[in-house]
Structure 1
Amino acid sequence: MRSLADVQPQIALGALDGRYRPVVAPLVDHLSEAALNRERVHVEVEWLIHLTDQGVVPDVRRLTADEQAQLRAVVEEFGPDEIAELAQIERETVHDVKAVEYFLKRRLERIVGADAAGLGELIHFGCTSEDINNTSYALMVKGAVEQVWLPKAQALVEQVSGMARELRDVPMLAHTHGQPATPTTMGKELAVLTYRLRRQLRRIGQQDYLGKLNGATGTYGAHSAALPSVEWPEVSRGFIEGPLGLTWNPLTTQIESHDWQAELYADMARFNRILHNLCTDVWSYISLGYFAQVRGQGTVGSSTMPHKVNPIRFENAEANLEVSNALLDVLASTLVTSRLQRDLTDSSMQRNIGTAFGHSLLALDNASRGLAGLDAVPTAMAADLESNWEVLGEPIQSAMRALGAQGVSGMEQPYERLKELTRGRRITGDDLREFVQGLGLPADVEKRFVEMTPQSYVGLAPSLVDYLDRD
């Protein structure tokens, strides 16, 4: 049998780079190996410009505006040729960050000519690899969240919010423990999920992305040994907060502690879990007939049963959310630990960030497409309500309790009397009205409950949806 590993172009091993590539492709610009190398080049370029601009090293000239522009263009134009060249250098160095240093020295020689030898020594000056890597990852993750994942998540939440508003007045039988319960509205239930998802997005949107540049064990040892008169913490802070636009971490070992990543991934995982809850609830509403799925012409629900329309978008989303959370959880739990001043577990672990984001992004896409294919079926919800008049036992016994507390006679044991009427059996509207009329309620209260139906017993559910506009 021919090996598929030999087929050209190469066949993707994973689903994200194969079947689902079009959906997750925007993340490649932020979380791929090539994106990591581009950010490393970016950080090294900005560090060189920062050192020369600030006059950190005596008797070293500043780079001209044109030279700075040409160096930054190396980052902007980073593409296939640069990726291949870096790969070739790394085969020689067997060290990815050192390969970036040598790559940039070549570019610097083309840009500044005779001064390249002196200026080139300031590329990677005082840095350990982790100074470059931690800031590169912070920039990568920041870009992936703010430019790709967060906009997609916000769009989905607004989609759910729009459905909540549209269905705010549509009454629906609730199910607690899978049993008929106090009616609500479909809009209110979707508003609950919207509110939960929004809270997590606010936390994610306020995330700090930390970075450090302080040498091999976080002491500025090489920096201060080479140039003892320089206020290196302030130089580092100015670099991290200035050209990189990150939050400065003043106290680290060789690595930036990654606590911010753990915080972010925990919040993303929580968002994923709430979205998973939405998917399972909507799946259940579809199975109850409360939503009808609108299929495109020619699509197939089942290979053998022509009548079937399967809720595959929500099932796909569930599976991808579970994969994403498995990765986000292990990232959050392992990245906060590093043996003594450094070990390399974080290096391997962080290479899975793109996969974690990719499965979440794929889930967002599937959930959005699934929701877009739904039509509410108010008649099905109304039919379930009509079959469950016993849910009105709750408001009647509650009113009797209030009346009894106010001294109205004949209101004894309201819960027990309604339990005897409704527990374990179905009743009709006529049954309930006959029961109400025999309770001896005040005329206005009796009239209210005689006129009440399961469809009208939704409390404040419709108006609660309006809290989405105050959120």
Structure 2
Amino acid sequence: MAMNADTTLDMQRQINDMKSKTGSPVFDTYQTSLTGRYCSKEMSQLFSQRSRHSTWRKLWLYLAEAEKELGIETISDAALTEMREHLVVTDEDFEIARVEEKKRRHDVMAHVHAFGQVAPSAAGIIHYGATSCYVTDNAELILMRDAMDLLLPKLAKVLSNLSAFALQWKSEPTLAYTHLQPAQLITVGKRAAQWAQDLIFDLESIEHVRETLQFRGAQGTTGTQASFLEIFGNDSQKCDQLNELLCKKTGFPSCYPVSTQTYTRKVDLLISNAISGLGATAQKITGDIRHLAAWKEIEEPFEASQIGSSAMAYKRNPMRSERIYSLSRELQSKPGSFAATLSDQWMERTLDDSAIRRIDIPEMFLLADAILLSLDNVTSGLVVYPKRIDARVQEELPFMITESIIMRLVATGVSRQDAHEQIRVLSHEAGAQVKNEGKGNDLVDRIKRNEFFRPIWADLDHMLDSRLYTGRSSEIVETFCGERGVVAAKLAKYQDYIRAAGVAELSV
């Protein structure tokens, strides 16, 4: 039934009345589910407005300190002292900046003026020689570096979980699947080792972009350092020294050798490729877990009071794996956006990179953080049902021993082609019974009744031991995940974090 205008107006009055009673803006404005539901407090704080704009103030301080160290006498000790005393942007500072930005339509200059109000001795030298990208770009590089430093130990923790799980179940036979159809056997641990190997690649990729990340530094409006060359009286050496000092103060090894007004947006794309790779891996892992849960072989943790479905009370839906899968899908979309931003940077810079990067950069890291938190939780508590796994193995095992039967028959002098045809016919008969009549797999019984197979009848029961068909699965797991394996070597530098970290708690 459609609402009339009076009804709508009445509902709005009720909402406004509730707002006045509750006084909470959180429930009256859009909030991203990443910060409200999924990611960690530390990652959310890192990309907060206070963190970003306080980083701007540090960068202005570092610039002023370096310029003074290089002989700029107009920068006083009092100015530097006042700047140091007001590095954290307060709520009052944000209000000043809000008013300034509305008037000036420039966020950097708004914060320059807000900083100058609380550090009046520095008001005339804040941002001296710099362009806006000195603070915006350098701050983003700092934030992305620090964000990767948050992600890497969490990724290492997930790897540690999977490695321990793989070792625990390294010898448990399970069905392997190709084309999502039963194939020859592997072990539960071998499959987990496959997951771990993909995560190793992600760890290495993120470590690489983290280790090779450089600083933009103080490069001027088009990357020529013209303004700083003028400040330092055409002394090119001091321009180099300025960036060396800035790198030392911010903890970067060096600056990118060539900049435009910005650092090249290729850097963002390289980082996003590494981070989004984690999303692809996480989606693969949780997709496998969801299938295994459907077959009742392996489940993610399920709490005693957890509800799987509001209608179907018996359900044990893999909601954590589904959440990871969903967030991973979004993370994997990010490189396309960063690639488009890079390709659209005409000449030395266009501003159409600004608004989208304000969204893409934080979201990329918030997504990755949320994925790792949930993946840690899932991999810390995977539940295995060995009897169910074995039951499913036994349903398919008669088909899987047919190649061994052929080889044993040939060893007794039987034609390989004849053996293949005989086993093909019986296999299809048994398969038809399973699919058309819903009965069990009776291939072994059919073989025992067929005189052609008499030479290997005595071997059949022994051949139905599933442990005979997992190949080197256990050895592969031990080599990869054991004490001297690849995983242990990669995780060595993260061991303090791994030992201190418990199971990741999910907020919802």
Q: Does 1:242 align with 2:248?
A: yes
* Deviations 1:222-276, CA, capped at 9 Å, x for gaps: 2223421242541343034211223411212111102222111111111111110
Residue 339 of structure 1 and its aligned partner are, at CA, apart by 0.9
Distance 2:426 2:146 in 1: 61
Partner of 1:184: 186
Residue 294 of structure 1 and its aligned partner are, at CA, apart by 4.9
Report the 3-state secondary structure (helix = DSSP H, G, I; strand = E; otherwise coil) of the residue aligned with 1:184.
strand
Q: Does 1:94 align with 2:99?
A: no
Partner of 2:5: none
Q: Does 1:52 align with 2:60?
A: no
Partner of 2:12: 2
**Structure 1 residues 296 and 449 mapped into 2: Cα distance closer, same or farther (>3 Å)?**
closer
Q: Which moved more, 1:427-436 or 1:216-225?
A: 427-436
Distance 2:220 2:141 in 1: 17
**Structure 1 residues 238 and 19 mapped into 2: Cα distance closer, same or farther (>3 Å)?**
closer
**Structure 1 residues 200 and 456 mapped into 2: Cα distance closer, same or farther (>3 Å)?**
same
Q: Hey, which of these two has a bigger chunk of helix by percent? A: 2
Q: Does 1:105 align with 2:116?
A: yes
Equivalenced residue count is 448
**Structure 1 residues 71 and 454 mapped into 2: Cα distance closer, same or farther (>3 Å)?**
same
Residue 430 of structure 1 and its aligned partner are, at CA, apart by 4.8
**Structure 1 residues 436 and 234 mapped into 2: Cα distance closer, same or farther (>3 Å)?**
farther
* Aligned residue identity for 1:193: W
Distance 1:31 1:68 in 2: 26
In the TM superposition, what are the counterparts of 1:419-430 in structure 2 within 5 Å? 419-423=424-428, 425=431, 426-430=441-445
Report the 3-state secondary structure (helix = DSSP H, G, I; strand = E; otherwise coil) of the residue aligned with 1:210.
coil
Picking from 216, 230, 235, the partner of 2:221 is 216
**Structure 1 residues 121 and 79 mapped into 2: Cα distance closer, same or farther (>3 Å)?**
closer
Partner of 2:377: 369
Q: Under a length normalisation based on structure 2, what TM-score does the superposition of the two structures give?
A: 0.79
* Deviations 1:404-427, CA, capped at 9 Å, x for gaps: xxxx85353265554344347244
Residue 37 of structure 1 and its aligned partner are, at CA, apart by 1.1
Residue 364 of structure 1 and its aligned partner are, at CA, apart by 2.6
Distance 1:69 1:432 in 2: 90
For structure 1, the 5+ residue unaligned runs are: 110-115
- Is residue 82–residue 119 contact of structure 2 (8 Å, CA) maintained in 1? no
Residue 107 of structure 1 and its aligned partner are, at CA, apart by 3.8
* Deviations 1:3-46, CA, capped at 9 Å, x for gaps: 8699442234144267416x343223222333221111111111
* Deviations 1:366-404, CA, capped at 9 Å, x for gaps: 333334453100001110111111112234446778x6x
In the TM superposition, what are the counterparts of 1:224-303 in structure 2 within 5 Å? 224-226=229-231, 227-246=233-252, 247-292=254-299, 294-303=301-310
Picking from 142, 145, 152, the partner of 2:145 is 142
Partner of 2:37: 20
Residue 178 of structure 1 and its aligned partner are, at CA, apart by 2.0
Report the 3-state secondary structure (helix = DSSP H, G, I; strand = E; otherwise coil) of the residue aligned with 2:249.
coil
Distance 2:426 2:61 in 1: 79
Report the 3-state secondary structure (helix = DSSP H, G, I; strand = E; otherwise coil) of the residue aligned with 1:280.
helix
- Is residue 183–residue 457 contact of structure 1 (8 Å, CA) maintained in 2? yes
Residue 447 of structure 1 and its aligned partner are, at CA, apart by 5.5
* Deviations 1:415-463, CA, capped at 9 Å, x for gaps: 555434434724444555778993868x9xx959944533431111111
Partner of 2:158: 156
Distance 2:126 2:167 in 1: 56
Q: Does 1:391 align with 2:400?
A: yes
- Is residue 410–residue 440 contact of structure 1 (8 Å, CA) maintained in 2? no
* Aligned residue identity for 1:214: Q
**Structure 1 residues 294 and 141 mapped into 2: Cα distance closer, same or farther (>3 Å)?**
closer
Picking from 472, 481, 499, the partner of 1:468 is 481
* Aligned residue identity for 1:48: A
- Is residue 265–residue 332 contact of structure 1 (8 Å, CA) maintained in 2? no
Residue 156 of structure 1 and its aligned partner are, at CA, apart by 2.1
- Is residue 262–residue 349 contact of structure 2 (8 Å, CA) maintained in 1? yes
Q: Does 1:125 align with 2:132?
A: no
**Structure 1 residues 272 and 201 mapped into 2: Cα distance closer, same or farther (>3 Å)?**
same
* Aligned residue identity for 2:197: Y
* Aligned residue identity for 2:204: R
**Structure 1 residues 423 and 175 mapped into 2: Cα distance closer, same or farther (>3 Å)?**
farther
Partner of 2:196: 194
- Is residue 31–residue 354 contact of structure 1 (8 Å, CA) maintained in 2? yes
Report the 3-state secondary structure (helix = DSSP H, G, I; strand = E; otherwise coil) of the residue aligned with 2:219.
coil
- Is residue 165–residue 187 contact of structure 1 (8 Å, CA) maintained in 2? yes
Partner of 2:506: none
Distance 1:18 1:160 in 2: 27
Partner of 1:37: 53
* Aligned residue identity for 1:84: E
Distance 1:437 1:244 in 2: 79
**Structure 1 residues 396 and 278 mapped into 2: Cα distance closer, same or farther (>3 Å)?**
same
**Structure 1 residues 253 and 385 mapped into 2: Cα distance closer, same or farther (>3 Å)?**
same
* Aligned residue identity for 1:313: R
Partner of 1:170: 172
**Structure 1 residues 82 and 376 mapped into 2: Cα distance closer, same or farther (>3 Å)?**
same
Partner of 2:366: 358
- Is residue 145–residue 213 contact of structure 2 (8 Å, CA) maintained in 1? yes
Picking from 301, 306, 314, the partner of 2:313 is 306
Residue 287 of structure 1 and its aligned partner are, at CA, apart by 0.6
- Is residue 266–residue 332 contact of structure 1 (8 Å, CA) maintained in 2? no
Report the 3-state secondary structure (helix = DSSP H, G, I; strand = E; otherwise coil) of the residue aligned with 2:468.
coil
Distance 2:238 2:405 in 1: 74
Residue 292 of structure 1 and its aligned partner are, at CA, apart by 4.3
Residue 357 of structure 1 and its aligned partner are, at CA, apart by 2.2
Partner of 1:410: 414
Q: Under a length normalisation based on structure 1, what TM-score does the superposition of the two structures give?
A: 0.85
